[in-house]
Structure 1
């Protein structure tokens, strides 16, 4: 949806809450610039989240210690609830599917590239990595699907912001890292990006590549100010993806990939569930017409995956996490 039309909502003084990483601030400034172009006054407040404060732990360990799915959103939502900020800009894949009642996703702008990418200084493709090469990724979803392709590699827990992970790669701590394309593209750090994975090889996380602008559901003025940023096709796609994730009972750190994209007469959606060791991997793909709701599409995809045996695979995640590689601070 274009933002070049003259403003239709009343002008506001808007406070954006954001994490402090370079990527999070790029996203916040990106939205701030669009709002300022419509005449609004905008400021940005940096908020440190649980996930940011526990960078020395794996995602699985953070989940055990906090019992929280929203490790990158909890403190930001507290600021929203207390009216210290008016809106928050999130990477949608970080936002839990069960959004609390006081909040709403006010806008989902046009999506960037949803794919995962292979980043390496020495190697041109994932397939060209030598046996035993170390691949850095903090995502069980990525590890599980890539193990299905290459079980001979060492998958190393690898947390930190984009710059930190690229620095660790340059230092030779690993031979390659797997990142979201959108983050590298937005920060213009694509110099070592070698390969963009197709979804059939590495299905992205639900909502990957999309931004979510969260606000208080009762804050009519802010919702009106943000409405022009919403893109209908992107909202449909990510809503279907998140509906699949919710129906499967998963959070953002389970080995579930879902990707929905527009086609000429509707949408296609692909879902993947993989066991932590990559030995079992299930895929289902559906298409829909415009008269089907995204929630219904997502639930239908989840049902197909369950029919194939997704339940027992996901039950494995309740056991102690698979220990492979080493935890990298």
Structure 2
């Protein structure tokens, strides 16, 4: 379809109902409105809030809830049923395999992919006292922090960003670890005490990126989302997700992957991908870094190298 076609439609956007989910969905809709207006299309947007399994179960650590797609399955069902037209996800929540008939229609430009510390006294990891209590909902974060600071007391916390930050005061934590991207999107960068470098804590697959999911047979939505897509972010995230898929890992096991674009030429992007698999206790930490131009092949290659080094055994032991 050409951009001169007369298009008028109400587009229903599905999202989780947390403050962060609604904020990032609103930001995506603002950008889609701008694109729609620039093309002369008459699209309007409605938000549909959907409660997921991961939102309902807040008293159990994510790694024990089990299953993949804890924060997306109900939203994907609404897409398949035609109740919504597209869905805004945090990419790190998306399983590698999408349901038949659905696709990732756009990966907008990524924001800060790193983890961050919010500490009671301010300062970074090195400033935390011996035996400090650190809250995190992620096995990936806890295993990497234990690897560099085995003295830390890592404890599981759940809830939205604000409630986790409040636990510094209400539950006596010395620090909490969060994704910097969530704070950035909420406009709360000033709450960040320190970023955790990616050589200390490899980010989650897709962290800092969004995935905009749609039906494969919806040509109008696919055309619109194609104009939202950031090709550099898409290439990096494809490499990370290929790594995840090769390891058959869910989003709640100690797996991390972070790809960056090193250079660009007429053949595409040269990517650098670091992959990590660790044991929950932080004692075993496997990492590999490679470069390549084919995102899927690069992800597979890094994963296969780690599997050869024992990553599959680590994941099997924890049910990954």
State whether residues 12 and 225 of structure 1, in contact with CA within 8 Å, keep that contact through their aligned partners in structure 2: no
C-alpha separation in 1, matches of 2:216 and 2:4? 20
Which residue of structure 2 lines up, in the alignment, with residue 317 of structure 1? 318
Match of 2:132 in 1: 133
Pair 1:201-2:204 in alignment: no
Report how many aligned residue pairs link the two structures: 307
Distance 2:172 2:218 in 1: 47
Partner of 2:301: 300
CA distance in 1, matches of 2:104, 2:308: 31
Pick closer, same or farther for the CA change 1:263–1:33 going to 2, 3 Å: same
Distance across 1 between alignment mates of 2:51 and 2:72: 9
**Pairwise CA RMSD of aligned residues?**
1.5
Q: 1:26 aligns with which of 9, 23, 27?
A: 23
Aligned counterparts, 1:256-275, within 5 A: 256-265=255-264, 266-275=270-279
Could you tell me how far 1:207 is from its partner in structure 2? Answer: 0.4
CA distance in 2, matches of 1:154, 1:8: 60
Please list the CA deviations of residues 174-222 of structure 1 after superposition, one character each: whole Å capped at 9, or x if unmatched: 1100100100111112333111112110000010000000001111111
Q: Which residue pairs with 2:286 in the alignment?
A: 282
- Residue 8 of structure 1 and its aligned partner are, at CA, apart by 5.8
4+ aligned runs moved over 6 Å, structure 1: none
Alignment of 1:117 with 2:131, yes or no, is no
In the other structure, the counterpart of 1:90 is 89
**Cα distance in structure 2, aligned partners of 1:30 and 1:8:** 25
- Please give the alpha-carbon distance, in whole angstroms, between the structure 1 residues aligned to 2:248 and 2:33: 39
Taking a change above 3 Å as real, the CA distance of residues 11 and 169 of structure 1, as seen in their structure-2 partners, is farther
Q: Distance in 2 between matches of 1:46 and 1:200?
A: 37
- Compare relative contact order (CA 8 Å, sep 6+) and give the higher one, 1 or 2: 1
Relative to structure 2, which stretch is displaced further, 303-312 or 79-88? 303-312
* Structure-2 separation of matches of 1:196 and 1:204: 11
Residue 169 of structure 1 and its aligned partner are, at CA, apart by 1.9
CA apart distance, 1:27: 1.0
Partner residue, 1:227: 226
2:56 corresponds to: 53
- 1:100-155 CA distances to partner (integer Å, 9 max, x unpaired)? 11100000001111100111121411111112211000100001111101111111
- TM-score normalised by structure 2 residue count: 0.92
Q: What TM-score do the two structures reach when normalised by structure 1? A: 0.90
In structure 2, distance between residues paired with 1:35 and 1:209: 19
Structure 2 Cα separation of the partners of residues 201 and 251 of structure 1: 21
SS at match of 2:312: helix
| Cα distance, 1:171 vs structure 2 | 2.7
